[in-house]
Structure 1
C-alpha cells in the first residue's frame, strides 16, 4: 500500500464495468472514492451494494447530475479532506488499461509534485471523428501553453498532486463537464506544475456508453478554449520567459 494515494472514479450511469473495475483495483490496496453523479435508479442499486463488499470504498452520491468535471472536482475535494496527497483518476466505462496503474504510481512517486497523465494509444475501436477531433484540442492547447509538452489533455487516466490542485481551485473556477480535463491541465501548467505522460492503450468497448454531448460539450470546450486563449495572452510575457529559459 502506498501512503497518501487513493483512486477516484466518477460514475454516471455506468453499471456494467464498475464492479469489474473496483475488483481489479483491490490489487493495490488503496482507498477508493466512487462519486455517483446523479445516476439513474438501476445504477444506484448496483453502486449502493459495493461499500458492503469493499471496505476500502467510499461512495459519495451527488443528488443531481453535474457533469464529469463536477464529479471529479467533488472527488478531489473529498480526497483532500480525507488527508490524501494524490488521487488517481480512472473513468468508470472500462476504457482504461488498468495494468498501467503501476506505471502511473511509480512515475508519481518519482515526481510527486507533477501531474501524471496517460498518453492514449488507440486501436481500431475509436471512431475517426473522435480520433481526429482530439487533434483540434491538441492544437489549441499548444497555442495556450506555447509548448508542445502537453501530449494529450483529454485523457481521464491521471494522478493529481492534490496540493497543486487545491492551490489552483482556491483562485479559479473550473469547468464542470467534459471541458474540465483540458482546462485543469492547462491551468496547472500555467501554475508551473510539471506534467508527465505515460503511454497507455485506450479501448472503446462496443457496448460502451458515452456521455459526450456533441453539441453542448463541443460548445463548452470551444468557449473554454476562447477563455484560455485570452488567458494565455495575459500570461504571454511569463510564458515566453519560461520558454526562453527552457531552451537555454
Structure 2
C-alpha cells in the first residue's frame, strides 16, 4: 500500500509557497515542508501554513541554517520514513512544476512501488540558455557514469522517492547536500539497480522567479560530483555492462 506525503524543500520562496500548498491540499496527503534556513519573510509565511485551514495536512520542519536543497530533501525523507510512510513526492516551492501531472506520478508509483519515479522536463522558451547548456553537459556525464541512455534526466526535482531504497542508498555513501543531490542520488540508485521510471512533464521558469543556483559555487560542486561518479563507474563498469546483456531478450 502506498503511504505517501508531499515533500517541499524551501529557501526564500515566500511569494509562491502558499499557492503551491493550496494546489496540493485536494490530494489529502501530508505536506512536509523543510525550511532550509530561509529569511524572515518566508518563515512568517510558513507560520501561516499552520493556520487551521492547513493544520491537518501541513508540517513544517526547520533547519537552523542554510545547508542546501539536498540537505533539506534528505532531512525530509528521513522524517517521512520515521513517520511510517513508504513514499515521498518531492515538488519545488517556486511554481516550476505542474501539479496537474501529480496523478500520473502517483499512478506510476502505485504500479511500480519499488521504482524511483522522476519527471522528464519538457521546457518552453522560458528556460535560460545557460541552464539549458548546463543540463546537456550533465546529461552527457550521467550517460558516461551509468553506461546507459536509460537515465533520461537527473536534474528534475519533481519525483516520487521509494523511501526504503532511497534511505538505503543514502547510508552507503555521503550524498551531496546542494544542487548536486538530485543528480547523485539518482545515479547511485541506478547503480544499486533501483528501477527508474520517467514521466514527461512541462517545467517552466516563471517570469521574475528566484533561482538559488550559485553560479560558480554550484557548478564547481557539480563538477567535483561528476568526477567522483566517473571514478565510481570505472570499478563498476563490468557489472554495468553485464547488466545490459542480462536485460537483452
With normalisation by structure 2, the TM-score equals: 0.97
User: CA shift at 1:41, angstroms?
Assistant: 0.9
Q: Can you give the 5+ residue segments of structure 2 that lack an aligned partner in the other structure?
A: none
User: CA shift at 1:167, angstroms?
Assistant: 1.0
The one-character-per-residue Cα deviations of 1:153-208 (angstroms, maximum 9, x if unpaired) are 00000000001011112221100000000000000000100000000000101111
Question: Which stretch of the first structure deviates more once superposed, 48-57 or 132-141?
Answer: 48-57
Question: Which stretch of the first structure deviates more once superposed, 167-176 or 31-40?
Answer: 167-176
Which residue is equivalent to 1:22?
A: 21
Written as runs of structure 1 = structure 2, the 5 A alignment for 1:84-103 is 84-103=85-104
> Partner of 1:51: helix, strand, or coil?
coil
The one-character-per-residue Cα deviations of 1:202-226 (angstroms, maximum 9, x if unpaired) are 0101111000001000000000000
Written as runs of structure 1 = structure 2, the 5 A alignment for 1:173-192 is 173-192=174-193
Which residue is equivalent to 1:207?
A: 208
Which residue is equivalent to 1:66?
A: 67
Q: Can you give the 5+ residue segments of structure 1 that lack an aligned partner in the other structure?
A: none
> Partner of 1:239: helix, strand, or coil?
helix
Which residue is equivalent to 1:76?
A: 77
CA distance in 1, matches of 2:26, 2:59: 17
> Partner of 1:169: helix, strand, or coil?
helix
CA distance in 2, matches of 1:200, 1:214: 26
Which residue is equivalent to 2:146?
A: 145
Which residue is equivalent to 2:226?
A: 225
The one-character-per-residue Cα deviations of 1:14-53 (angstroms, maximum 9, x if unpaired) are 0111100101101100001000000011111111110223
Which residue is equivalent to 2:42?
A: 43
**Alignment RMSD, CA only?**
0.9
Written as runs of structure 1 = structure 2, the 5 A alignment for 1:97-136 is 97-136=98-137
User: CA shift at 1:247, angstroms?
Assistant: 2.5
User: CA shift at 1:127, angstroms?
Assistant: 1.1
Which residue is equivalent to 1:12?
A: 11
> Partner of 2:172: helix, strand, or coil?
coil
Which residue is equivalent to 1:164?
A: 165
CA distance in 2, matches of 1:122, 1:135: 13
Question: Which stretch of the first structure deviates more once superposed, 94-103 or 50-59?
Answer: 50-59
User: CA shift at 1:3, angstroms?
Assistant: 4.6
**2:155 is the counterpart of 1:154:** yes
> Partner of 2:200: helix, strand, or coil?
strand
The one-character-per-residue Cα deviations of 1:109-157 (angstroms, maximum 9, x if unpaired) are 0000000000000011111111122010000000000000011000000
